[in-house]
Structure 1
């Protein structure tokens, strides 16, 4: 089951115009949430990021798009979903309606909500060997902070990863700074100092990034700074990990010949599992 423009419908019956602007121009945004028993974790942050993204892309936000509206829609979808797992992945996709070429004819929108089952809390995933993806670079600035439906660099990095037997790739921006992984924000620890790229470097303004930074600042044994990360720092680091709301904290175990500790990642994983799922 999915929700398509307020209507709960079977997935195979949910169809949209072939020339919708999301398909034609990547003119859309999306929000991915982790839910427990139909309740979205960090819901308020997700909601405001979605509304902010739509405003930045000059989309017309329907008056019905209140926090309560989406909470009701998520619960309705969860009850209609046959899988009984309490953990689920939710995606809200918004695209501008059909019309115009590069310049839209209007800015009204359509949207869909889909839910898939997750069967676990945040877990250690074992081997996670990464490499730099150098074929294409992420743009600097605000548009890189958004979850738009135009993710060409991430897609090509995913294909490169599969073809070359890596577990993930680290993406570079136009200044050749390390920005993020394919689907997560990057953190680098050297001793008691933890760095993560600043938003101006073009990394995603991640919900889990914000939560992890807040928690790290409460832990007196770490200094947290937002600062550009050069490729040369990777092999000198003690620990690397990436974050997103679906996987939580994902330790990077190896980059080239360097193998990394997993101390901080495990500490954070234990904290968030207790906070969110106990």
Structure 2
């Protein structure tokens, strides 16, 4: 069966807009699993928080119910069973002064495998030519030239992703998501103050791990060398889903324990 890809735009779409011109936009993901919207509330509140950080005007119509009904009509009712809805909110290009510019959005979704399953193994490496910031906007998905540079670098070096450091040479995140490092019974996660993404998907997973006492969670400042000491590494991306890291340079990693945890997490939604 061929997988669907759907794109939704509001009426009166301006092709020349501030997102196109200046990257004046923010991305947030919503998640579809087994024909249902899951974690809708967490994703919605993250959308509102991200828009406030970007100082986007939030229309009164942008309620949780509005987006739930929209996704039901435009996604679920059209047969999408599993996938990640990528929603972009942006400022229109208007004659109004910048703070008063109206907000618009569009979204796209492509059917995929179960978003709560480990989709496969990926190979990473460290990139040193650039770093990412650790400020108010570093934790949300906004225009990032560093991500574009890193994506090209990874393709040229036959990598699936790269580890990005902050200016203090601590691990921030990867291009597409956050990294979780398992050693013994401790899962280390880079702090948001180090440049890690805020991720409803990862936060839901980490909360499940903590509540069920499957491992100890530690938010930490992590130096690059510690990635080589981990027994297993997981990448959780609101954009790409869940992947285990199989290799960083010459070091290979297992994926047994994280895979078991992810499977238990997925079963929790049934």
Structure 1-normalised TM-score?
A: 0.87
Structure-1 residue corresponding to 2:92:
97
Cα deviation, 1:33-82, whole Å, max 9, x if unaligned, reads 2213553221101000111111122211111111110111111112564x
Superposed displacement of residue 4, structure 1? 2.3
Unaligned runs of 5+ in 1: 8-13
Distance 1:127 1:52, change over 3 A: closer
Cα distance between partner residues in 2 of 1:205 and 1:146:
6
Shift of 1:126: 4.2
- How many residues in Structure 1 have an aligned counterpart in Structure 2? 265
What's the CA shift string for 1:230-256, capped at 9, x where partnerless? 011111111111112465431111111
Distance 1:79 1:126 in 2: 26
Per the alignment, in what secondary structure is the counterpart of residue 137 of structure 1? coil
Specify whether residues 247 and 99 from structure 1 end up closer, same or farther in structure 2 by C-alpha distance, changes over 3 A only: closer
- Tell me what 1:135 maps to: 129
Aligned to 2:83: 88
Which residue of structure 2 aligns with residue 107 of structure 1? Answer: 101
Kept after mapping to 2: 8 A contact 1:38/1:75: no
Contact 2:119/2:241, CA 8 A, preserved across alignment: no
1:3 aligns with: 8
What residue in structure 2 maps to residue 17 of structure 1?
15
Please say if residues 2 and 77 of structure 1, whose CA atoms lie closer than 8 Å, have aligned partners that are also in contact. Answer: no
Q: TM-score scaled by structure 2?
A: 0.89
State the Cα RMSD in Å: 2.3
Equivalent residue number for residue 172 of structure 2: 179
Residues 187-222 of structure 1, C-alpha deviation per residue, up to 9 Å, x if partnerless?
111211111011111111011221122122134352
Aligned match of 2:158 = 165
In 2: Cα distance, 1:181 partner to 1:122 partner = 19
